Amino acid sequence: MAESFKIMFVCTGNTCRSPMAEGALRKLFENDRVDGIEVSSCGTGAAASFPATDYAIEACRIWNADISRHLSQPLVKELIEKADLILTMSPAHCHRVITLDPGAAGKTFLLKNYPETGCNGEGIDDPIGGSLDIYNRTFLEIGEELGRILPHLVEAARRKGEAG
């Protein structure tokens, strides 16, 4: 059996944006019956084993995505090496991934730029400390980006499956 295509989202604390993106993308793949893709997330400043924020969990309910069992994990080189594609929430996150593993530059993208390479561009603002309305707007912004790039993600996974 071919090895799955591994997509990893990166934000700061791994309790808001990247878990929301992970949950939303899993839900999109589930809805479209896409198999062979693993989705994870981590944070550049994350501590281990913290849950997603209550508002992040609530915002994900817009799409019936359940992230209530999410536990944060820090960004480390081993996670970078395992990922086939790394999507970051801000230019700073993108630069941090490449600083930890310069060899990951070709597979690390700013979410809003993908599939264009490079770390410069517009990020997705961190909703931490904001109202549920701010979290909902952040979730919908992430969801809009995921909808835009979904065909690219499926194609990248298909290519890996054919190569494997």
Cβ–Cβ under 8 Å, residues 126 and 12? yes
SS3 25: helix
Burial classification of residue 142, based on how many CB atoms lie within 10 Å of its CB (0-12 exposed, 13-18 middle, 19 or more buried): buried
Active site residue 119: no
Which of the following is catalytic: 11, 42, 60, 119?
11
Residue tagged 């190569």 (tokens): 163
Helices assigned H by DSSP within 32-131: 54-60, 77-82, 91-100
Burial classification of residue 5, based on how many CB atoms lie within 10 Å of its CB (0-12 exposed, 13-18 middle, 19 or more buried): buried
Which of the following is catalytic: 17, 26, 94, 96?
17
Tell me: cis bond preceding 91? Omega within 30 of 0 counts.
no
Active site residue 17: yes
Active site residue 42: no
Which of the following is catalytic: 61, 84, 119, 125?
125
Burial classification of residue 51, based on how many CB atoms lie within 10 Å of its CB (0-12 exposed, 13-18 middle, 19 or more buried): middle
Positions annotated as catalytic residues are 11, 17, 125
